[in-house]
Amino acid sequence: MTMWVFGYGSLVWNPGFDVSERVLGTLTGYARSFCMRSIHHRGTDESPGLVLALDECVKSRCEGVALAVADDIRDDVLEYLRERELISSAYLEKFLTVTLADGRQVEAVTYVVDTEHVQYCGGLDLEEQAQIIARAHGGMGPNTEYLFNTSTHLAELRIHDPDLVWLAKRVKSLAA
């Protein structure tokens, strides 16, 4: 059985594993937002950055990319994803139903935010998010790079996320 992974942030543009099929997909009941403080990849303990996470929200939906993994590398990819995404236990690994653009429904490994975790910061207004993203830097580089790459790749896929569009524009003006 094919393993699917749902990408809504950096997995869209940097999955880090071989993808055998890539299809636009929608996850209902969750909203993408910068609701998790990053103390490893895009910030530090002293100056946390922000990364995208999925916050459970009944009336929401998140458009992203469903990534199929070949059976022969499934275990390696799952190990890699757990190392990457569960570094601080702020994400929960779930298998959720994603509706693909072609109408298929698949169960996909999906990383959603643990709202009880200390890194959860849902509800920050967009200006505060922009101020944090503009200055944060972590082990994988500047927080701005994460925002700009995600925003650009979602736009290329014709996935419209008005908050990311606003944030990218605002952060560019702060960095100028």
Q: How many residues in total does the chain contain?
A: 176
Where does the pLDDT of residue 176 fall: very low under 50, low under 70, confident under 90, or very high at 90 and above? confident
The whole-number pLDDT of residue 175 equals 87
H or E element that contains 107: strand 105-113
Looking at residues 110-126, what average pLDDT do you find? 96
Of 8, 52, 16, give the one whose Cα is nearest residue 147.
52
Where does the pLDDT of residue 1 fall: very low under 50, low under 70, confident under 90, or very high at 90 and above? confident
- Determine which one of 21, 56, 85, 156 is catalytic: 85
Structure confidence by residue, pLDDT tens digits, 70-103: 999 999 999 999 999 998 889 999 999 999 999 9
Q: What's the pTM value of the predicted model, to 2 decimals?
A: 0.94
Rounded distance between C-alpha atoms, residue 4 and residue 155, angstroms: 22
Question: Domain 3-175, what fold?
Answer: Hypothetical upf0131 protein ytfp (3.10.490)
The whole-number pLDDT of residue 113 equals 97
Looking at residues 132-149, what average pLDDT do you find? 96
> Is 79 designated active site?
no
Two tokens at 168?
């990218």
What is the percent of the chain where pLDDT is above 70?
100
